[in-house]
Amino acid sequence: MAELTYRDAVAAGIAQEMDRDPRVVFLGEDIAAAGGVFKATVGLLERFGPKRVRDTPISEQAIIGAAMGAAMTGLRPIAEIMFSDFLAVCWDMIANEIAKARYMSAGQMTLPLVIRTANGSGARFGAQHSQSVENWAMAVPGLKVVAPSTPADVKGLLAAAIRDPDPVVFFEHKGLYATKGEVPEGEHVDRLGTAKVLRQGSDVTVLALAAMVPRALQAAERLQSEDGISATVVDVRSLVPLDTKTILAETVKTGRLYTVEENPRLCGWGAEIASIVAEECFYDLDGPVVRITTPHVPLPAADALEDATVPSVDRIVETIRRTAG
Amino acid sequence: MDVVMPQLGETVKEGTVTVWHKKVGERVEANEPLFEVNTDKVETEVPAPVTGVLTDILVAEGATVDVGTRLAVIQEDGKPRGAAPAPEAVRAPAAPPPSDSSRAARRPAAPARGGEDGPPLSPVVRKLLAEHGLDPSAITGTGAGGRITRDDVLAYVEQRKSGAPAQGAAGERVPFSKIRKRTAEQMALSWRTIPHVLQAVEVDFAAVDRARTAQAEAWKAKEGWALTYLPFVAFAACRALPEFPAVNASLDGDALVLHRRVNLGVAVDLGGEGLIVPVVKAAADKSLPDLARAIHAVSEKARTGRLAPDDVTEATYTISNSGSFGTLLTAPIINPPQVAILSTDAVTRKPVADGERIVVHPVGVLAQSFDHRAFDGAYSAAFLRKLKQILETRDWASDLR
């Protein structure tokens, strides 16, 4: 095991796959010479050269269009969209072309590509650069959606996404780039569509994604020591495919389900899970499913306001404390 | 307009809704029967207070609620809707809530449907209650607002299984179930008001045992259950009772009502939940095999909770059977207005004097508690002597044929 930062794990994952497969290419704004605006791709240009690691003009549509064409013609491109908010400008190509190509060509065409993007709040970038838009991608049939919370998962899931035969939107979290964690040495490939139980408890089950995972874990520790409430914490990791087997099993064990979501409340990923749980294990529930989310508002840029908007450890603790009885 | 549980008698605190005569959405006329209520004291029909449409039923049939509890809502003719909140009014906020925490804080003020008069029961709690056949009123809720949680039900089930009180220095308070409550009241009333006298005889079951053993296998094969001593005792009692009509009687104020028929009550234990006494009607008219079958049938009905109201009324004499547990002698409590009750205890093999010889016979004690207001010790003793004589000397083999 080696200790890596979340941002170094991105570069490590890409390098592992570029080493292994010459078809893997990487393109995006400032990803090559500058090593990425979040310094997540440092060293790749030097190692793999300007043919496989390309800086592009400031045009998200050009990046996605180029990646789509490359994938159609036999490469396995990784496209970076610097801020996930900008996926909106590419949405026709992503939602209508990339997501539909395999289906509309009856499998004659596949698009093995990865769209990496920096998602989420914490950097005070305001309403157009801090959003959590994982639920946008989740709503489009034909896309796989991954959002890791640890350096090890970044490397393992990024490798799995690159090897996947279909388009994967890979949400990295801006607030996690500096965090550190153990990453297995040598080749490391994880499996898409698998959630991870990080903490086993007996009273409540808490589902979280990306930056909400460490907050849910901290909240669980506080609930245990301050209130004697024992919480299971599950890192959902992958929204499509969704690991319903693990989610339902962990929900049934405690009978109480909470989701901690950074995406805005309406149609957030937890809403889909709440609906599945209501349908599949209603008679094992010992209380309502409670969603802890960002409210349905544009994200403020001011520190205090952003902190008040996105679910905090305090808010998770207070909500569970108030409703778990 | 809200329909509430009426006060039926000064001391009545609660009532059970037994039947709704109207469905939600149906029209009701003022003074037309709306539902039926059963309390400790009365069973009565309650008329609709106003004319209109029954828009909501809040308390299901079979639920017991306090006097004054809202039972239903009638939308009166000519009055605007909304005086009483309809269920949909509780839901659907006009605009999306600003944050989930403020939303969660707004606990819905929905009525406690199905949770009787307590907070609502969660889906898993309902499932567990049904699986274990439990009455929620027997379980102490530790959740928010006294809500019964999943863990409360599981702890209750666990505690009942082990028979030991749950952990906690002060011990746990386990409220009585309905049947336990009724058993307690009836037993206390009997003990307070009836001067009980206990008499017992020792009976040699050798004659019974010979016939029973000879037929045991054939009986088991044919009927599917074993032939015990109980039907023999019951049959003997049915022969003895006509000679002692004051034993097969009810006390009614200053009079004793002597019954022509023997309706035999057979006490059945419901595994700690309480006692129930199903009744074999006209027991003295039955042959021994028929009486055995009838006792078996009502006991099974009692254990599986399928007794009809008619199965538990009009007993004139009761037998309580603790013998299978190996008891030597039980002093039973009389079930008023009856005036006597017989306990059959264990029949065990014992040395018995047969002339100058000692032989081993199956022997058991029959004990009768009687109401000393109704008759005296000599009368009861003579009845027991008769019972003993029948059991020891009858040609049982021909009764079983």
- For the stretch B293-308, pLDDT in tens is 999 999 888 888 788 8
Which CATH number is A220's domain given? 3.40.50.920
CA distance B233 to B107: 61
Residue of chain B whose alpha carbon sits nearest to that of A292: B100
What spatial distance separates the first Cα and last Cα of chain B, rounded to whole Å?
Answer: 67
pLDDT of residue B279: 94
Q: A183, A205, A236 — which closes off a domain?
A: A183
A239 and A145 co-located in one domain: no
pLDDT of residue B177: 77
Residue of chain A whose alpha carbon sits nearest to that of B131: A283
Question: Residue B337: is the preceding peptide bond cis (ω within 30°)?
Answer: yes
Of B101, B124, B147, the CB nearest to A284: B124
- Answer whether B144 sits within 8 Å of A325, measured CB to CB: yes
Dihedral, B309, B313, B318, B320 alpha carbons, nearest 10? 20
- Answer whether B100 sits within 8 Å of A291, measured CB to CB: yes
- Answer whether B96 sits within 8 Å of A291, measured CB to CB: no
A9 and A154 co-located in one domain: yes
A143 and A29 co-located in one domain: yes
A215 and A146 co-located in one domain: no
For residue A123 the two structure tokens come to: 């950097």
- Answer whether A286 sits within 8 Å of B101, measured CB to CB: no
ipTM value for the complex: 0.77
- Between the CA of residue B172 and those of A5, B128, B140, B162, what are the distances in Å? 52, 20, 9, 14
Q: Has residue A188 been placed in a domain? A: no
In 3-state terms chain B splits into helix, strand, coil percentages (rounded to 5) of 35, 25, 40
A173 and A41 co-located in one domain: yes
Q: Which residues pair with A24 in a beta bridge?
A: A76
CA distance B25 to B149: 33
Pick left, alpha or beta for residue B158 (phi over 0 → left; psi -120 to 50 → alpha; otherwise beta). alpha
Q: Which residues pair with A146 in a beta bridge?
A: A170, A238
A109 and A244 co-located in one domain: no
Catalytic residue set of B:
372, 376
Q: Has residue A189 been placed in a domain? A: no
Residue A94's domain comprises: 2-183
Enter the pTM of the model: 0.56
A158 and A239 co-located in one domain: no
Residues of B in contact with A293 (CB under 8 A): 100
For residue A152 the two structure tokens come to: 């090890």
SS3 B301: helix
Residue of chain B whose alpha carbon sits nearest to that of A261: B100
A105 and A60 co-located in one domain: yes
Report pLDDT digits (tens) over B35-83. Answer: 888 876 566 778 888 888 898 888 888 888 888 888 998 888 876 554 4
CA distance B90 to B110: 7
pLDDT of residue B101: 42
Q: Has residue A213 been placed in a domain? A: yes
Q: Name the domain count of chain A.
A: 2
Q: How many contacts (CB atoms, under 8 Å) link A and B?
A: 52
A82 and A20 co-located in one domain: yes
Residues of B in contact with A323 (CB under 8 A): 104, 144
Sign of CA dihedral B150, B152, B157, B158: positive
What distance in Å separates residue B79's CA from the closest CA in chain A? 35
Which CATH number is A168's domain given? 3.40.50.970
Residues of B in contact with A292 (CB under 8 A): 100-101
Burial class (CB in 10 A: 0-12, 13-18, 19+), B293: middle
Is residue A304 within 8 angstroms of chain B, CB to CB? no
A257 and A217 co-located in one domain: yes
Query: Best residue in A286, A310, A323 to probe B by mutation, most B CBs within 10 Å?
Result: A286
Of B96, B105, B126, the CB nearest to A296: B96
User: Of B9, B35, B394, B385, which is closest to residue B201 (Cα–Cα)?
Assistant: B385
pLDDT of residue B238: 96
Residues of A in contact with B124 (CB under 8 A): 255, 283-286
Q: Has residue A62 been placed in a domain? A: yes
Is residue B95 scored above 70 in pLDDT?
no
Is residue B92 scored above 50 in pLDDT?
no
- Answer whether B96 sits within 8 Å of A325, measured CB to CB: no
- Answer whether A286 sits within 8 Å of B150, measured CB to CB: yes
DSSP state of B107: -
pLDDT of residue B50: 87
